[in-house]
Amino acid sequence: MEEKSFSTKPTITEDKIPIIVIVGPTTSGKTGLSIKLAKKLDGEIVSADSRQIYRGLDLGTGKVTKKEMSGVKHYLLDVVDPKKVFFVTDYVKLADEAIAEIHGRGKTPIVVGGTGFYIQALVDGLILPEVPPNLELRKKLAKKSVPELQKILEKLDKKRYSTIDKNNSHRLIRAIEIATALGEVPALQTNPKYDPTFIGISIPIDELRVKIHTRLLSRIKAGMIDEVRNLHKNGLSWKRMEDLGLEYRYVARFLQDKITKEEMLIQLETAICQYAKRQMTWFKRDKRIKWLNAEISQRSQRCDICS
């Protein structure tokens, strides 16, 4: 396959911090590429993954190991108790602090992950609505099922309903809370503080399915079911695992005898493939991203940023 050459050298502006942002679907090779670039550019890595932020969610999220880090410093991994609900505003605050620290030491900040809203909020400086928690409303909504929450939000704000993670009860409740207070979730304003260079890793869907299947089986073999079992023994509720999604949702259902192991594997693999497609749909909308074939990203690619 012919290698592509493209210019991705970060441009330093007077006021904005230059950063590199690596995106793509799950299993595409973002972690490996980010570590290669960090070594070549004296960089450090800021994770943009909404589940790797939690302590103990390791095998299920494919969290990079100390060995795989190869001495490259990583930020925003294992910083929050999984019992705690972590919002995008929390992420942006911590990521801003990490980038400032990295940049302040003269190193290159590299943001890498597949959580599109985290990346957009960080890079574009989204100004999110300041609606304080409504504890009474939250208590009332917490008693409702996910389908019931979906119906409430759809009635309140169809536009927000069309873009939200419809299986995440915490995000549904927060959206309902904002829509209840403001009438709707308002259009977001931006105040960017970074000068981003985007690199996206693209992979054909058939190859992606094979990688997802292979990785899922390897995680099961490595002890992912035991990881979920131990999380529950240490106090993480089945309901919370349902909200954490994907591996934790389906393994938790298996451990509760709601589905068989075979059903778990089939349903989970399907859900991961669907998630990967949603990731690509999100990222393809951003025309700033320069796409790199996954095969090239695994070699010593001809890329100006590595020069």
Co-location of 117 and 141 in the same domain: no
Q: Give the distance from CA 6 to its chain's centroid.
A: 26
Give the CATH number, domain containing residue 94.
Answer: 3.40.50.300
Co-location of 51 and 110 in the same domain: yes
pLDDT tens string 251-277? 999 999 999 999 999 999 999 999 999
Which single residue is written with the structure tokens 């679907």?
Answer: 25
φ and ψ of 113, to 5 deg: 165, 180
Give the chain's domain count: 2
Q: How confident is the model at residue 299 (pLDDT cuts 50, 70, 90)?
A: low
Which single residue is written with the structure tokens 């998630």?
Answer: 275
Position 296 pLDDT exceeds 70: no
Co-location of 179 and 71 in the same domain: no
CA dihedral 106, 112, 117, 119 (to 10 degrees): 20
CB atoms within 10 A of CB 145: 9
Mean pLDDT of the chain: 89
Position 10 pLDDT exceeds 60: no
102 in a structural domain: yes
Co-location of 175 and 51 in the same domain: no
Co-location of 65 and 142 in the same domain: no
Co-location of 66 and 111 in the same domain: yes
- Report the pLDDT averaged over residues 234-248: 95
Co-location of 144 and 292 in the same domain: no
CB atoms within 10 A of CB 256: 11
Q: Which of 187, 202, 221 is the last residue of a domain?
A: 187
Identify which of 251, 275, 292, 272 has the alpha carbon closest to the alpha carbon of residue 36.
292
Co-location of 201 and 176 in the same domain: no
pLDDT at 298: 55
* DSSP β-bridge partners for residue 217: none
The larger pLDDT score, comparing residue 52 to residue 142, is at 52
Q: Which of 153, 169, 187 is the last residue of a domain?
A: 187
Q: How far apart are CA 125 and CA 188, in angstroms?
A: 10
111 in a structural domain: yes
Q: How confident is the model at residue 240 (pLDDT cuts 50, 70, 90)?
A: very high
Position 113 pLDDT exceeds 70: yes
What percentage of the chain carries pLDDT values higher than 70?
A: 91
pTM of the model: 0.83
Co-location of 98 and 141 in the same domain: no
pLDDT tens string 59-99? 999 999 999 999 999 999 999 999 998 989 999 999 999 99
Domain that holds residue 169: 135-187
Co-location of 177 and 211 in the same domain: no
11 in a structural domain: no
pLDDT tens string 27-59? 999 999 999 999 999 999 999 999 999 999 999
pLDDT at 301: 43
pLDDT at 2: 33
Q: Which of 170, 187, 204 is the last residue of a domain?
A: 187
Helices (H), 48-185: 66-69, 88-104, 116-123, 135-141, 146-156, 158-163, 169-182
Co-location of 63 and 157 in the same domain: no
pLDDT at 115: 95
10 in a structural domain: no
Co-location of 200 and 108 in the same domain: yes
